[in-house]
């Protein structure tokens, strides 16, 4: 197949990532040509606000706020779609594919919500969608799952996929600061969104995990089937107790094959401090994948940020320019037809757990909780209720931490409903699995 030596590109969206992509396209022209064998030409830019001052000079390239300038231009081959949101994005990408453009996107929310539909449309239109930047920023994990690990049966994926929540958990422990203070600082520094809800409640990580799970197992897992908890209720106390026991608390995203069923969860989890995942600090991401042949592989690095994400987008651009991306996308489409692996019901996930209750500092509290756990066949491995200032605040309440032996999510949910009714219970009840 003879390729057009020029590759004409439209950039749609020029926020943080789009600006990074434009910078690389402009500064690395010669090395991109050498790597791909083609000359990359940024021909059009579409942004919401044309008048806005930007950190990059487009020279004479037409900048518009109308995506039709791209869909109507037969000379454009490839659209780099780096806009967030779902409903408009769905419409935009649909129109791009329908007008014959190939699409590279970093929008994981879009792929999570409408990936199947957009992939099918791309298949029908004989177009390609690339999305390395949608999961784990600059870490080439989509490529690893789609190419390097293809001869493997994937046994498990364990990952930190949300940099904001990992930054918050790391900083709380390092600085001995409460959740709210660290979140406010992260927002002030621009690490966390003005509305960080999707980062801290596990939605963002769950969307990314769903995309990875689909590629690795051929199974579509909707958010409602993922055991999902956020980090909003985690207190400094929880991190300190975990640290004393040799653990770090991480918002761990897990997909695991267990007896031909798939267990999928995004939960704050106690991970051993001396394991690679436990050591992953700040805004970094890590993906630990176990294949039946390759064994355990770990990939880590910056999970977000302008240039790391732009690096992943540009890897897609080169992959596209050379023709590799179209081949990989055909493989992905073939796998869409795979027989899905049944999901393990949420109640049957079996782990050890860390439980923390805020209780009135009065007699018989522990006995009441232990009784409920016992009746639900949950076996206690250790208990601590310290009298130190760290553990107890001034208002007559104490924190009670219970570690359990292996038990199921279902038993714990039942027990939790009963415990919530106890008159001695105050405020949040924390439940975190322990990864061994």
Active site residues: 208
3-state helix, strand, coil in the chain (%, to 5): 40, 25, 35
Which CB atom, from 58 or from 299, has the smaller least distance to its own copies? 299
Nearest approach in angstroms of CB 426 to its own copies is 38
Which CB atom, from 302 or from 359, has the smaller least distance to its own copies? 302
Q: What phi, psi does 320 have (nearest 5°)?
A: -65, -45
Query: Going by DSSP bridges, is the β-strand pair 39-46/6-12 parallel, antiparallel, or unpaired?
Result: parallel
Q: What does each C-alpha distance from 414 to 54, 367, 418, 419 come to in angstroms? A: 54, 17, 7, 9
Nearest approach in angstroms of CB 283 to its own copies is 11
Which CB atom, from 284 or from 409, has the smaller least distance to its own copies? 284
Angle, in degrees to the nearest 10, between helices 306-322 and 16-27: 60
Which CB atom, from 294 or from 343, has the smaller least distance to its own copies? 294
Geometric angle at alpha carbon 321, from 319 and 326, rounded to 5°: 60
What is the distance of C-alpha 196 from the center of its chain? 14
Query: Would you say 145 and 289 are in contact if contact means Cβ atoms under 8 Å apart?
Result: yes
* Tokens 């057009």 found at: 4
Which CB atom, from 33 or from 90, has the smaller least distance to its own copies? 33
Nearest approach in angstroms of CB 408 to its own copies is 31
Task: Using DSSP, state whether 409 is helix, strand or coil.
Answer: helix
Nearest approach in angstroms of CB 215 to its own copies is 11
Cα separation, 115 vs 90, whole angstroms: 9
| Among 200, 266, 270, 269, residue whose Cα is nearest residue 228 | 266
10 bridge partner residues? 44, 79
Nearest approach in angstroms of CB 436 to its own copies is 18
Nearest approach in angstroms of CB 328 to its own copies is 7
Cα separation, 103 vs 13, whole angstroms: 13
Query: Would you say 44 and 64 are in contact if contact means Cβ atoms under 8 Å apart?
Result: yes
382 bridge partner residues? 403
Residues engaged in binding its own copies (CB under 8 A): 1, 20, 24, 28, 31-32, 34-37, 132, 138-140, 143-144, 147-153, 274, 276, 279, 291-302, 305, 307-308, 310-312, 314-315, 317-319, 322-324, 327-328, 330-331, 334-335, 338
DSSP of 107-142: -HHHHHHHHHHHHHHHHHTT--EE-GGGSSTTS-HH
Which CB atom, from 46 or from 310, has the smaller least distance to its own copies? 310
Nearest approach in angstroms of CB 24 to its own copies is 6
Which CB atom, from 111 or from 312, has the smaller least distance to its own copies? 312
Which CB atom, from 341 or from 366, has the smaller least distance to its own copies? 341
Nearest approach in angstroms of CB 239 to its own copies is 18
Query: Would you say 266 and 229 are in contact if contact means Cβ atoms under 8 Å apart?
Result: yes
Task: Using DSSP, state whether 389 is helix, strand or coil.
Answer: coil
Query: Would you say 291 and 297 are in contact if contact means Cβ atoms under 8 Å apart?
Result: yes
Give the burial class of 225: count Cβ atoms within 10 A of its Cβ; 0-12 exposed, 13-18 middle, 19 or more buried: middle
């Amino acid at each position: 197949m003879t390729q057009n030596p020029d590759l004409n590109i439209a950039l749609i969206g020029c926020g943080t990532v789009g600006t990074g992509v434009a910078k690389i396209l402009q500064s690395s022209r010669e090395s991109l040509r050498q790597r791909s064998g083609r000359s990359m030409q940024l021909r059009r830019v579409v942004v919401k606000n044309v008048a806005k001052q930007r950190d990059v000079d487009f020279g004479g390239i037409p900048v518009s706020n109308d995506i039709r300038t791209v869909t109507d231009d037969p000379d454009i081959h490839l659209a780099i779609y780096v806009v967030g949101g779902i409903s408009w994005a769905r419409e935009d990408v649909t129109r791009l594919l329908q007008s014959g453009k190939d699409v590279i996107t970093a929008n994981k929310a879009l792929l999570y919500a409408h990936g199947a539909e957009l992939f099918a449309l791309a298949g029908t239109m004989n177009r390609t969608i690339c999305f390395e930047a949608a999961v784990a920023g600059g870490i080439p994990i989509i490529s690893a799952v789609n190419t390097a690990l293809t001869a493997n049966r994937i046994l498990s994926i364990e990952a930190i996929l949300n940099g904001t929540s990992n930054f918050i958990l790391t900083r709380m422990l390092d600085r001995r600061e409460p959740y709210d203070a660290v979140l406010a600082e992260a927002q002030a520094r621009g690490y966390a969104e003005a509305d960080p809800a999707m980062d801290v409640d596990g939605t963002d990580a769950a969307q990314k995990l769903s995309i990875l799970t689909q590629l690795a197992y051929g199974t579509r897992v909707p958010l409602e089937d993922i055991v999902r908890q956020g980090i909003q209720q985690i207190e400094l106390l929880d991190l300190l107790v975990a640290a004393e026991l040799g653990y770090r608390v991480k918002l761990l995203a897990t997909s695991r094959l267990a007896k031909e069923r798939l267990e999928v969860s995004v939960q704050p989890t106690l991970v051993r401090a001396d394991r690679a995942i436990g050591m992953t600090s700040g805004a970094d991401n890590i993906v630990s994948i176990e294949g039946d042949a390759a064994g355990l592989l770990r990939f880590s690095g910056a999970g977000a940020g302008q240039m790391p994400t732009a690096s992943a987008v540009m890897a897609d651009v080169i992959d596209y320019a050379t023709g590799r991306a179209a081949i990989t996308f055909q493989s992905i489409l073939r796998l869409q037809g795979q027989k899905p692996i049944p999901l393990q019901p949420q109640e049957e996930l079996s782990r050890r757990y860390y439980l923390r209750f805020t209780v009135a500092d009065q007699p018989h509290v522990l006995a009441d909780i232990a009784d409920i756990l016992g009746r639900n066949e949950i076996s206690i491995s250790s208990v601590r209720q310290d009298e130190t200032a760290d553990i107890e605040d001034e208002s007559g309440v104490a924190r009670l931490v219970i570690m359990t032996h292996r038990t199921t999510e279902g038993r714990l949910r039942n027990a939790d409903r009963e415990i919530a009714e106890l008159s001695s219970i105050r405020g949040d009840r924390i439940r975190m699995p322990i990864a061994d």
